A = this chain, B = another copy of it.
Amino acid sequence: MTTQPLYYDCDTGIDDSVALAYLLASPEIDLVGVGTVSGNTDSAQAARNTLALIQVAGREDVPVAVGAAHPQAGTYAGPVPHIHGHNGVGDITLPDAARQPLSRSAADLIVDLARAHPGRLRLLTTGPLTNIAEALRREPALPRLVKDLTVMGGAAGRSGNVSPVAEANMANDPEAAAEVLAAPWDITLVPLDVTLAHTFDENDRRRLLESGRPLSTALGSMLDIYFEFYLSTYGRRCCALHDPLAAAIAVGGVTTLLAPVVDVVVDATHGPGRGQTICDLRGRYLGFPPQPGAHCRVVLEAGPGSASHILERVLTL
């Protein structure tokens, strides 16, 4: 089996940590680089978290680059300690990483990797799209240079999570999101519609904690605060699998059941819809006939076994 080179852009983050573990455990891909961005935590802390997690997994081969500290058109609003803890990883203590991040920026790493693997590099993002937009400006041919782009973010036919219509990754940098989703990549958008439908609960957390494996145990610990936050969404201790599901879809580990290719536009106004991913789902009653020029596959449903697939794969680490 030929492994596919994959670059992962994230704001590590509890669910980013689970996604990172999933990617490290995935034989289908070769994780050739990770870049960080400010979102769940700031980009520098996200890089510290990422390097520490990779070290806990016993891997030393994955380069990590610090990305944008601030969104394209503003200032980073700061971390969300009630969701991801003060350090982004649920306030658990990870060992300091022996390695340092690259001196290159995440945007430069993306462009370098795309040129090193022409037509083959796959991109996966689970944070704001600031680094991807910056890379796109440095190399306008990027959409043709890479194989595809999978984006966790947005809300298509369901509510947002930071406004009635906007999801956090999009809302944290709507200008970047608008630019990236308008560029002619082969995009797979993994919005809240599908990620909220796949959860880890206390049984899954217990299996991580009792696995005897260092990275899985760390993930089980950090999920505690995350489960607590999700009481306000689900009314019970559990969590949505936003970033891990996007990773599993990018890798091909889970099956998508409903994923039409439709026009998607990001609202970058300063009105009440700011940050919304406006997906044209008007063809729903007709089974989503083709929309000429559309290049964004919007995942609305994934296989019912997705959560257990993610858990089993992470438990191998």
Contact = CB atoms under 8 A, between A and B. Distances in A.
Interface of A: 157-161, 163-165, 196, 232-235, 263, 265, 267-273, 276, 278-282, 284-286
A235 B288 CA distance: 11
A54 to B, nearest CB: 34
**How many copies of this chain does the complex contain?**
2
Contacts of A278: 163-165, 272-273
A285 B233 CA distance: 6
Nearest to A279: B164
Contacts of A159: 157, 280-282, 284
A273 B265 CA distance: 9
8 contacts: A157-B158, A159-B281, A160-B282, A233-B285, A234-B286, A269-B272, A269-B273, A273-B276
B285 A234 contact: yes
A42 B43 CA distance: 55
A8 to B, nearest CB: 28
Contacts of A273: 165, 267, 269, 271-273, 276, 278
Nearest to A267: B273
Most chain B C-beta atoms within 10 Å of own C-beta, residue among A157, A268, A273, A276: A273
A11 to B, nearest CB: 22
Contacts of A157: 157-159
Query: Which 3 pairs from chain A and chain B are nearest by CB?
Result: A273-B273, A269-B271, A164-B280
